[in-house]
Amino acid sequence: MSGTVWFVGAGPGAPDLLTLRAARVIAAADVVVWAASLVHADVLAHARPDAEIVDSSRLPMEGVLPLYRRAAAEGLTVARIHSGDPALWGAVQEQLDLCRALGLAVEIVPGVSSFTAVAARIGRELTVPEVAQSVILTRLEGGKTPMPPGERVREFARHGTTMALFLSAARSGQVQAELLAGGYSADTPAVVAYQATWPDELVAHCTVGTLAATVKENRLWKHTLILVGPALAAAGTRSHLYHPGHFHGHRRAEPAARAALRREGTDRAVSRAGESNASGPGRSRPAGPGSERADQPT
């Protein structure tokens, strides 16, 4: 006999951000495992009245292992609820490997991540055309879990794009120093969000230069996400996606608008080439908003 373990993303906090699939999985489970310290209790409203509810907040992996073994022996369905999305800092891979070794079927239900929840709360797009087209998800090096070589905040900061920093607020001074050393200017917009979408959430707008002071002023050190980058304050620019000159499989481009779009692209390329030449041979362009040199001392 073999059972199934579902790893369910509960989202950032608000119970109504649970997906329909997540709610169905919780409702069908014989055993629901959740962390009271990270997941809103209201998600348990979807569980069956006769379901076994286990709070994992005080349990190490060895404390949950007997549940998985029992699920394999008795053919039980387990819903293992994780905060946010299980793909990000959820210690899920080790559990997947363990469950598979026990012969259990495993499935993952994605959840809303806190970085997208914070973007929604502040009403910002994180990928503004011509401002930022990438989002870097990372955390400060050091701490309990070592970072792989090359994954340092200051190295990521050199891209000058949108960055979301998880699990880093307790060392906000170091975060600020790394961001500045990597090339973000002191006036680059930043947002500090505590318990996003929870009743006691706190969202504070600041800059990279005032980041550490903002975190300390609000006495934050856990359950806090930091967003940084020029897109947090940039005005929206015209996207090609809905431009009348853009075409795709379901829409034809208007000829005049298409020609104008091509001219716009040519003018932009010429402008960028001029900026590059003006920097002189052998000199790097700015690594981030407000930075002077990509090869500035670190």
Q: Is 158 strand, coil or helix?
A: coil
Tell me the mean pLDDT per 10 residues along the chain, length 298. Answer: 94 97 98 96 98 94 94 98 95 95 97 98 95 97 86 97 97 98 98 97 98 97 97 75 62 70 62 54 34 28
Do the Cβ atoms of 25 and 104 come closer than 8 Å?
Answer: no
Q: Is the dihedral of CA 164, 13, 234, 172 positive or negative?
A: negative
Reported for 292-296, long-range contacts at CB under 8 A and 24+ positions apart, including other chains, are 294/158, 294/183, 296/183
Q: Which amino acid is at 228?
A: V
Pick from 117, 123, 89, 110: which is nearest to 194 by CA?
Answer: 117
Q: Please give the pLDDT value at position 290.
A: 33
What's the CA gap between 63 and 55, in Å, rounded?
10
Of 29, 34, 63, nearest to 49 by C-alpha is 29
Q: What is the pLDDT of residue 172?
A: 97
- E strand or H helix at 7: strand 4-9
Which residues contact residue 200 at a Cβ distance below 8 angstroms, ignoring those fewer than 6 apart?
194
Give bridge partners of residue 7 from the DSSP assignment.
80, 108
For the domain 128-232, what is the CATH code?
3.30.950.10
Q: CA–CA separation, 128 vs 205, rounded Å?
A: 18
Q: Half-sphere exposure of residue 51, counting CA atoms within 13 Å on the CB side?
A: 24
Residue-level pLDDT at 2? 86
pLDDT value of residue 142: 84
All CATH 3.30.950.10 domain ranges of the chain, comma separated, are 128-232
Dihedral of alpha carbons 250, 252, 254, 257, sign: positive
Q: Where in the chain is the domain with CATH 3.40.1010.10?
A: 4-109
pLDDT of residue 143: 77
Q: Give the Cα-Cα-Cα angle 74, 77, 79 (nearest 5 degrees).
A: 140
Range 4-109 has CATH code 3.40.47.10 = no
Predicted TM-score of the model (pTM)? 0.80
Question: What span, in angstroms and rounded, lies between the C-alpha atoms of 147 and 142?
Answer: 7
Tally the C-alpha atoms within 13 A of residue 296's C-alpha that lie toward its C-beta.
19
